[in-house]
Amino acid sequence: MAMNETVEPTRRDFLYLVTTMAGIVGAGAATWPFIDQMRPDASTLALASIEVDIASLEPGMSLTVKWRGRPVFIRNRTAKEIEDANATALEELKDPVARNANLADDQPATDLARSAGEGRENWIVMIGVCTHLGCVPLGQAGDFGGWFCPCHGSHYDTAGRIRKGPAPENLAIPPFEFVSETVVRIGQAAAGSA
């Protein structure tokens, strides 16, 4: 056979190609249900984020909502609470890390790093689970006027930082953002939203 000669495909070549393609499509169709069942269902995706209207929270008021099966504390702190938190030296903190999912992992636990940020220092959003054994602390209680876990005696300040007791870490701050002046979204942004 010369180099310039072309070979016409035979019927056998066509049957091999069709059979191979049918096998690939069949294998894909057979495995798709197993792959598809690994995706989270709609109820799980719905819990990925929640939006909370905070318009009624005056300074000094708190709201507890449920997100992913855990309580989340939202507090509109008073000027005095912010002042007390800012007056605390970082060296006095048992846990010097902010534990804020919205910031870098090594961010120091300043009051600003624990709050909703510049211009919204009065707002604090935290997962309301004690970092010792998972109890739910009481708000505006304890030695530092923040949260107190009566089960084992952990005291948190007005920025949710552990100050006294067996808890090893500050109360965690979930991913959140203000979607308007009066609505905060906790969790990941919904698909297709900015």
| Whether the predicted pLDDT of 193 surpasses 50 | no
pLDDT at 34: 79
Q: Are 71 and 129 in contact (CB under 8 A)?
A: yes
What would the pLDDT profile of 56-98 be if each residue is shown by its tens digit? 999 999 999 999 889 999 999 999 999 999 999 999 999 999 9
- Annotated catalytic, 152? yes
Q: Which of 106, 95, 102 is nearest to 157 (CA)?
A: 95
Q: Which CATH code is given to the segment(s) 46-187?
A: 2.102.10.10
- Among 138, 152, 189, 190, which one carries the catalytic annotation? 152
| Among the ranges given (29-43, 119-133, 146-160, 171-185), the one the predictor scored with the smallest mean pLDDT | 29-43
Quote the pLDDT of residue 2. Answer: 62
